[in-house]
Chain A
C-alpha cells in the first residue's frame, strides 16, 4: 500500500473537516476522493501533501512516516484547481522549476522538460507565458510541472473543476491514458461522480469528514454500503422503504407477485434512448422507472394506465434514510 492514513482528524475552529479517517490508497493506481463540497476530501488531499497539518493521526507515504515532514520533503506532485502557474515564467521554466530547485545538471533538465512537454502536448508552447495559454493547456502545464520531479504520488485537487464541460471531458480521458503511461500513484479529488466512475480504479467516498465507502466503481455502483453512497453515485428512486435505481424496477400491467406495488402512470418523458415513467402508487408515493424504448413499446403504457412495480431480484437497494441536504434527489436522478 502506497499511502496509509491512520486516524487522521482535522478541525477548522468548530468545523470538523475530518473525523478519525483511516484509509489505504493502493500503489500505482488512480484513486478518486469523491464527495460533496465541504465533505473533507480536499483537506485529506492537502494533509497527504503536507500543505495542511493533521490535528491527530499519522500519514505514511511509501513506507515513510510523513506526518511531520514539510511539503518540500514529501516528494509529492500537487496540481491545483486554478493551475497555480508561476505567471512570470515561461511554460518551460514552470516545468523546470522543481528540477532547478534540486540543482540537476542543465542538460538533464532540458531533456526531461522536453520529454514532459511532449507528454502533455505543449512542445510548441514552451516559450509562452501561462497567461497566453487556455485553461486546459495551463492545467496540462501544471501537470507536467508536478510530474517533473518524479513524485512518489501525484495529487490533484479538483483538477478539471475550473474548465468547461467539453475540455473537462477531454482532459479526463487524457488523464486516464496518461496514468496508464506514467503509472505513478495518483489521487484526485472530485465532486463529480461521473468523473470518478469514469476515470478512477478505486473510489473513496467521503462525506461529513468521514469515509462512507471504499471500492472499485463497480462495487460502489452495484453494492453501495448505505443510502448516501447509493444517492451520490447514480440515479435513485424510492419504492416503499427501499432506495433503488430506476432501471432496476420492473413494471407490468398485470400483477406478477404478492409483493407488487400498484400505481398509476402520471407522466411519460422520453430522454434520448430511454423512457422515464413517473408512477404514483396507491399510497401516494412518486416512483420513477426508466425503460428502454423497446420495453416501453412492448408494454403499451399511457398516462393513467394502472401498473404494478417490483424491484428486479438481485439488484442493489438500500434502506431509505433521510434525504441529505447536500444531495437532493433531483440532482442524483438528473445525472442519467
Chain B
C-alpha cells in the first residue's frame, strides 16, 4: 500500500494530463508476460492475503463482524489510533516541510549529520525505538518527564517513527524548484511569505500529500515503538494493532480480522482523499 502511494504521489507535480491519456502501448508478447508476472507477484503478496483477511473477518457473518468492530473496547482503540495518526500527520506536514526546507536551503555546520539522523526512525527496529522512548520518557526518565501509560505516549511514539516520511518526500522536490521562479515572483512584487504560500507550497503539495499518506499509514500500523511506553490500557491507550494482537492471543481470529478490515478501509479512504487533494491543487487554475 505504501509503495503504491509513493509511485502515484511523487511525480504528480509534473504530470501532464494531455500525455497520460496516450501513454502506454498495446500489449506485445513480452510486455504481456511482464504484466502477468507483476500481477502474480502483486496477487501473492497483497491481494490474496487481503482477501483472506476479509474472508476471515466475514466468517462469523455480518452480525459477527459488526459486533466485533462495534465492541466498546475496539471502537476506542480505532478512535485513538485514527485520531492520533491524523494529529501526528498534521504535525509532520508542518515540521517535515520545515526540516526539509532547512536541509535544502540552509548551509550550516552538522548538516550532513542531520541528513543521516533524519533516517534513524526508518532504520531503527521499532521495538528498539520503543525501548529508547521508554528509557527517556518512562517512569525512570532522566529528564523527569514521565508519560508512560498515557495517550501522550502514543502520540510521541507515532511522531518518532513517522518523522522521516514528509522530510524525505518533500526534500528532493524542494531541491529541484528553480531559484528563477522565486526571483520572478519577487520582481512581480510578491513578498517572501507570498512567494512561499503561492509559488513554493503548491509545488510541494503533491510531495507533502504523498508523505502524509505514508505517515498516516505508518501511524495506523505502528506497534513496536509504543507497546512498551503506552501500557496498552484498554479504553485508554490501547491502539488497534495491540487490540488485534490480543484478539489473536485470545483465539478470536475473526475479531482480529474484522478490526484489520476496518483499518484497511480507513487507510484506503485516507489515501484516496489525499490523492484527490493532490490532484485538485495540481490542476487548480
Chain B's nearest CB lies how many Å from the CB of A245?
39
Contact B284 A84 (CB under 8 A): no
Contact B184 A78 (CB under 8 A): yes
**Which residues on B sit within 8 Å (CB–CB) of A101?**
188-190, 194
Contact A86 B199 (CB under 8 A): yes
Contact A97 B16 (CB under 8 A): no
- A71-95 CB mask vs B (1 if < 8 Å, else 0) is 1101111101011111111101100
Is residue A102 contacting chain B, with contact meaning CB distance below 8 A? yes
Q: Which of B146-203 contact A (CB under 8 A)?
A: 178, 180-181, 183-191, 194, 198-199, 202-203
Is residue B142 contacting chain A, with contact meaning CB distance below 8 A? no
Chain A's nearest CB lies how many Å from the CB of B183?
5
Contact B181 A84 (CB under 8 A): yes
Query: Measured between alpha carbons, how far is A149 from B188 in the docked complex, in Å?
Result: 7
Number of interface residues of A (CB under 8 A): 35
Contact B189 A102 (CB under 8 A): yes
Is residue A98 contacting chain B, with contact meaning CB distance below 8 A? yes
Chain A's nearest CB lies how many Å from the CB of B280?
11
Is residue A50 contacting chain B, with contact meaning CB distance below 8 A? yes
Contact B184 A80 (CB under 8 A): yes
B binding-site residues for A, Cβ under 8 Å: 13-14, 16, 18, 178, 180-181, 183-191, 194, 198-199, 202-203, 281-282, 284-285
Is residue A132 contacting chain B, with contact meaning CB distance below 8 A? yes
CB closest residue in chain A, given B281: A88
**Which residues on B sit within 8 Å (CB–CB) of A88?**
13, 202-203, 281-282, 284-285
Identify the interface centre among A72, A75, A77, A132: most chain B CB within 10 Å of its CB.
A72
Query: Measured between alpha carbons, how far is A102 from B191 in the docked complex, in Å?
Result: 11
**Which residues on A sit within 8 Å (CB–CB) of B285?**
88-90, 92-93, 129
Beyond known contacts A51-B186, A97-B190: 19 more, CB 8 A cutoff: A71-B186, A72-B189, A72-B191, A78-B183, A80-B183, A83-B180, A84-B178, A85-B181, A87-B181, A88-B203, A88-B281, A89-B285, A97-B198, A101-B189, A101-B194, A129-B285, A132-B16, A145-B184, A146-B188
Contact B189 A149 (CB under 8 A): yes
Query: Measured between alpha carbons, how far is A80 from B178 in the docked complex, in Å?
Result: 11
Q: Which of A51, A86, A102 interacts with B187 by CB under 8 Å?
A: A51
Is residue A49 contacting chain B, with contact meaning CB distance below 8 A? yes
A-B contact pairs, 7 of them (CB 8 A): A49-B187, A71-B187, A87-B14, A101-B189, A101-B190, A129-B16, A129-B285
Contact A87 B203 (CB under 8 A): yes
Contact B189 A80 (CB under 8 A): no
Q: Which of A70, A86, A98, A131 interacts with B14 by CB under 8 Å?
A: A131
Contact A71 B203 (CB under 8 A): no
Chain B's nearest CB lies how many Å from the CB of A99?
9
**Which residues on B sit within 8 Å (CB–CB) of A149?**
188-189
